[in-house]
Structure 1
């Protein structure tokens, strides 16, 4: 048996799938793409997460596009966090060009053009489905970790949430929690100290400064109602295709805290809301996180621990998370160890540090009798990648240099008129376009303060009247505390990682 025949048998056996699978492309040996060595990934292992890495311009976006198209065809919804803004063309049918015909002939995979159902989501003022969540839904633990608070400061945040729970004051947006912080250090200081203990003003001042920092990154647009329902990510169109939800993040590249805030809240809520799936034939949802280094570079140690924990647990809900970045070393080792599928596009070696990174990257892949991994990493062409996955038994597949198939949809972005067309047809845009500002902690505390001030004014007037009538001393000095009556006690039910179950879902 020749080396080539032996390699084809090796790849065919390693990537053989009895159940449904995604075909990424054809294996490459000695620079030749082989027609009889297809690289496939079983649907049942896609909830084991993955990594798509490579230098700029090597084909990562097209790989995600190919991946998402096939997921959609199987009725599996996708959430793509699109930071560069170059993924939206998946909504429109592609065009077969000579280089595509040639590529698909080499790997012996038929090519057809197609478009896919798309929803355009936004965290900012861009057109699309507005994503929001309330402060209460975060809960004190997750909110404290996002602010990178120490234990003492996190304890005060827990007191704030408990006070609002006990007094049935919803914490919906940032102005609510800022108002509560001001209240407990000023007008309500005695009330808080009596029922919850003394709170240092220096601690509340630090918390307030960190909230303002988050607010300056645009979080005031994110926190509020109506809250986004994760079930709206799970939609299937009338043709049985899963919706591809594209979160447009082009205007928050310089706001990593907002990005991390959203991502963690979303993953935690998906974990809480979705039922346990166990072993199933296909995932319920696949999430692609582009430019993943933006999350990890800004994350504190506690935030990294939170991410790692969620990544470990969420796969049991049938959710796969795929990190996209230039260098796999951008991903913390604890997270990298959880990733079952790795698609590594070319890396470039311009400096000694680059060569060191390539050596470290090569060490993260299975050894192969057919490739010198560190050499292959620098010689891969555009649209080629090293692939290793998990087979249906959960065993790592052989390393395969792969010529990736081409996307069936447009390999370019949508025009503004095409974006508007999608948004005009969207039911979700209409559902989430209205900004709701119902009575919450901010308004309730203002009323409470007004009541106290009115009572104090009445007592002062009474004191003045008594003084004039020589009826003895006034009792105005004892007013403040007695006027503040506790509202109906209530306890919010919080799920995993402090995320609140939707209380006010309509």
Structure 2
């Protein structure tokens, strides 16, 4: 049943229920992306598990989100169960044996796996706007903030960096508006409130350092198997937008960092996106276009993306058209919308003259699916009604003790478990604000500047670091007295000094308004 260069999915059967033939996914087409769909309890997670096992055995690293905790069993040896043994015999799977797989557990919160982090700079303004569900005006302010940080040498690593930058922008909104466009203090305040909500939801643990290195989810073992990175997402699902944004960020990072490889003999990485509908729910058009672009182009980087969701209609048509490998589990059709979903699912397959897809989809049993994969010349195979093979690893979650045991021998142990907080925007802006406050209490300098510099870029509002000059004062006189020649000369000199000071102040103000360096 197992063949070199192919992943065994299961065995199809004819309309009379007799065994037909093995169904495979060819490794060289594993980067053509895929879709696993079906109602709750129909076997989607088990299908994901057996595909991840097979890719790992073929030397392909895998990244998958564990939404319910069931996928964690892939890191433990399989156990005998009657129904698994029955399925293996039913489909003629004579090579069936139990196995455990090399797993690396990850967790944004650091509770069930190694910490996963990134920085706000790496996240970028588009994904951050999506994360806080920003309006158009707020997204504009976020883009300006990233521009100011980039030009001013202000690293944005965590949420406190961004909060400090927003405070600074609000205090100097007029100066920045003249250079970058209108900055509404109301928009700044709204963004700050959304960031506070993110902070309360635990996002502070995600935005920090050390940031995840893509190479650490693309590891292989000494015996040539691909490591399976399992992201604990049961708690993360309490904030669906953070979950979807994180996985989209990870896809974007893979797209940007990996080199072009064309069509390799096997994928460099396979990425499973469970509960994929969360990525597209209420997503702005620009974000959907970004997903479409990444999915379309990341194939040439050797990465296969497999979306796992209940309904094929959860995925936009432009993305759905790029998913060549399909596994469709049972769908229910009690309502008009569900009936429409069944028809949509049936229409995405290359028809089989032996049965009607729409009828079969509603009558599939647990662990049974309609399967169509990319075959010779890149064309989809004729859809087959397939009994999915049983997994070799444990079916169901592992215990906490077993999880800790796996983590204790992990190849990334100690790399991400401790926080690291280097100097960034928060520290720089705080220090400059303190310096400005100290200067404001010092004697007024001869020439008062309204700008300072950070990272070689002129920023408003911090004052000057020049040494203060002595202030020129005149003593009051009582009554009328004739001026002497010396007194007249002194007054003339004082007027010249005042004129020079006034000109310097005007130059400083104009310089700050036009954004020119002084």
TM-score (norm 2): 0.83
Q: Secondary structure at the match of 1:393?
A: helix
Separation of aligned partners in 2, 1:437 and 1:28? 58
How big is each residue's C-alpha offset from its partner over 1:402-422, in whole Å with a ceiling of 9 and x where there is no partner? 011100011020101011111
Q: Post-superposition shift, 1:154?
A: 3.6
How big is each residue's C-alpha offset from its partner over 1:72-124, in whole Å with a ceiling of 9 and x where there is no partner? 00110000111111101111111233333332222222211100000110112
Separation of aligned partners in 1, 2:305 and 2:257? 17
Question: Where does the alignment leave 5 or more consecutive residues of structure 1 unmatched?
Answer: 1-15, 490-506
Separation of aligned partners in 2, 1:17 and 1:426? 29
Task: Assess, with a 3 A threshold, how the Cα gap between structure 1 residues 24 and 123 changes in structure 2: closer, same or farther.
Answer: same
* Structure having greater relative contact order (Cα 8 Å, sep ≥ 6): 1
Tell me which residue corresponds to 1:160.
145
- One of 233, 246, 264 as aligned partner of 1:280: 264
Task: Assess, with a 3 A threshold, how the Cα gap between structure 1 residues 181 and 20 changes in structure 2: closer, same or farther.
Answer: same
Q: Post-superposition shift, 1:177?
A: 1.1
Tell me which residue corresponds to 2:215.
231
Tell me which residue corresponds to 1:443.
427
Q: CA contact under 8 A between 1:172 and 1:223: conserved in structure 2?
A: yes
Task: Assess, with a 3 A threshold, how the Cα gap between structure 1 residues 351 and 161 changes in structure 2: closer, same or farther.
Answer: closer
Separation of aligned partners in 2, 1:38 and 1:67? 15
- One of 52, 55, 61 as aligned partner of 1:71: 55
Question: Where does the alignment leave 5 or more consecutive residues of structure 2 unmatched?
Answer: 446-467, 477-493
| Correspondence 1:246 to 2:212 | no
Q: CA contact under 8 A between 1:130 and 1:429: conserved in structure 2?
A: no
| Correspondence 1:81 to 2:65 | yes
Q: Alpha carbon RMSD of aligned pairs, Å?
A: 3.0
Separation of aligned partners in 2, 1:277 and 1:316? 6
Tell me which residue corresponds to 1:12.
none
Q: CA contact under 8 A between 1:92 and 1:114: conserved in structure 2?
A: yes
Task: Assess, with a 3 A threshold, how the Cα gap between structure 1 residues 406 and 469 changes in structure 2: closer, same or farther.
Answer: farther
- One of 134, 137, 147 as aligned partner of 2:119: 134
Q: Post-superposition shift, 1:140?
A: 3.1
Q: Secondary structure at the match of 1:236?
A: coil
Q: Secondary structure at the match of 2:412?
A: helix
How big is each residue's C-alpha offset from its partner over 1:247-273, in whole Å with a ceiling of 9 and x where there is no partner? 001012231221122112111110011
Task: Assess, with a 3 A threshold, how the Cα gap between structure 1 residues 467 and 422 changes in structure 2: closer, same or farther.
Answer: farther
Tell me which residue corresponds to 1:268.
252
Q: Secondary structure at the match of 1:32?
A: coil
Q: CA contact under 8 A between 1:17 and 1:392: conserved in structure 2?
A: no
Q: Which of 106-115 and 436-445 deviates more?
A: 106-115
- 1:306-385 correspondence to structure 2 within 5 Å: 306-385=290-369
Q: CA contact under 8 A between 1:17 and 1:391: conserved in structure 2?
A: no
TM-score (norm 1): 0.85
- One of 154, 169, 181 as aligned partner of 1:169: 154
Separation of aligned partners in 1, 2:18 and 2:416? 47
Separation of aligned partners in 2, 1:246 and 1:135? 23
- One of 176, 198, 203 as aligned partner of 1:192: 176
How big is each residue's C-alpha offset from its partner over 1:319-374, in whole Å with a ceiling of 9 and x where there is no partner? 11111111112112121111001101111233444333222322222222111112
- One of 288, 294, 299 as aligned partner of 1:304: 288
| Count of aligned pairs between the two proteins | 468
Q: CA contact under 8 A between 1:287 and 1:321: conserved in structure 2?
A: yes
Q: Post-superposition shift, 1:434?
A: 1.3
Q: CA contact under 8 A between 1:145 and 1:302: conserved in structure 2?
A: no
Q: Secondary structure at the match of 1:100?
A: helix
Q: CA contact under 8 A between 1:214 and 1:257: conserved in structure 2?
A: no
Q: CA contact under 8 A between 1:341 and 1:390: conserved in structure 2?
A: yes
- 1:5-16 correspondence to structure 2 within 5 Å: none
Q: CA contact under 8 A between 2:39 and 2:330: conserved in structure 1?
A: yes
Separation of aligned partners in 1, 2:438 and 2:174? 18
